Amino acid sequence: MRAYSTPSTRDSLIQLGVTIGLFVLSLSIMYVVMMDVGYWAALVMAVPAGLLLVRTFIIQHDCGHYSFFRQKWACDALGRVLGIITLTPYLWWKRDHDWHHATSGNLDKRGYGDIGTLTVAEYTALGKFDRALYRLYRHPVILFVIGPIYQFVIRQRLAINIRNRDRSAAASVHWTNLAIAIVVVAVSLMIGLVTFLKLWLPVIAVSSCAGVWMFFIQHQFEETYWQRDPNWSFEQAALRGCSYYKLPRILEWMTGYIGYHHIHHLASKIPNYKLKPCFENVPTLRQVTTLNLRDSLKCARLALWDEREQRLIAFADLAPA
């Protein structure tokens, strides 16, 4: 896999240019359609624009792993700029995401950069009110629609619950908020605040919901991997705790090849555009859990880790008390 771990400056710049160029073009078309045809017709363009924003986020994500350019300073500079577009403070997100990679699948180190998951024993030990809250949190409408929009639009504006009280991560939140405010004011002066929000909010809604769904499905499938700290293995967490999400080619491209998630967790220095060639040329990497679109929909009901059975189950699968 080491042969795939060095980014190509040329390929990175081409990917960046094509992605941002198409994203700006899709927003421009959306604006023209809204002005000339009507708002509801323009909303159709929110889907490709939102998916292109997911692709933009994946580039920011690669910058956070220092896998997009060879120079760390270049990754940091680009990551901070893209964080303004994706509404994601670069350094704050990077440090939480690094923790996610270091602890994914570790039952004793949950809580940062992951989707909250309780074991069956933890859930059954809760009172009725707390059980209801957890059920509400894991409801698909909350988890894949309301939650993602809240996370990207509101939660990431707040420098709270930062791990280890990291001041530089908190500063990243504040500086990103300031930059977002400047962009909003500048664009609003050109096209009006209401018009800007009518364009931007649907795009953010599509991208945040699609992004959280991708993150969920890469880890939350029935035969995923969770272990207590003494038995936890980084390699097993990558190969057994991450899926290969087999998507149609256009969606694979739009989502920055993050469907090859097991490879990414095993070797995060591989840039996104080299994940697919790595998968195709290293046979061992094809011996993992593979999910297609139909398979993935069945995973939405999973909510609890059964330590005895070593699998994720739905609330309906709980044995009667």
Residues 236-253: tens digit of each pLDDT: 999 999 999 999 999 999
Report the predicted TM-score, pTM, of the whole model to 2 decimal places.
Answer: 0.94
Residue pLDDT, tens place only, 206-236: 999 999 999 999 999 999 999 999 999 999 9
Q: What's the whole-number mean pLDDT along residues 110-136? A: 93
**H-helix or E-strand containing 183?**
helix 167-191
Name the band, by pLDDT with cuts 50, 70 and 90, for residue 163. confident
Count of CB atoms within 10 A of residue 129's CB?
A: 8
The C-alpha atoms of residue 128 and residue 211 are separated, in whole angstroms, by 31
Residue partners of 259: CB distance under 8 A and separation at least 6? 214, 218, 244, 245, 246, 247, 252
Quote the pLDDT of residue 166.
85
Residue pLDDT, tens place only, 262-287: 999 999 999 999 999 999 999 999 99
Name the packing angle between helices 46-64 and 72-86 (round to 10°): 150
Name the band, by pLDDT with cuts 50, 70 and 90, for residue 110. confident
Name the band, by pLDDT with cuts 50, 70 and 90, for residue 111. confident
Quote the pLDDT of residue 126.
96
Count of CB atoms within 10 A of residue 124's CB?
A: 13
Q: What's the whole-number mean pLDDT along residues 44-57? A: 97
Q: Does the structure show a pLDDT above 80 at 164?
A: no
Q: What's the whole-number mean pLDDT along residues 113-136? A: 94
Q: Does the structure show a pLDDT above 70 at 179?
A: yes
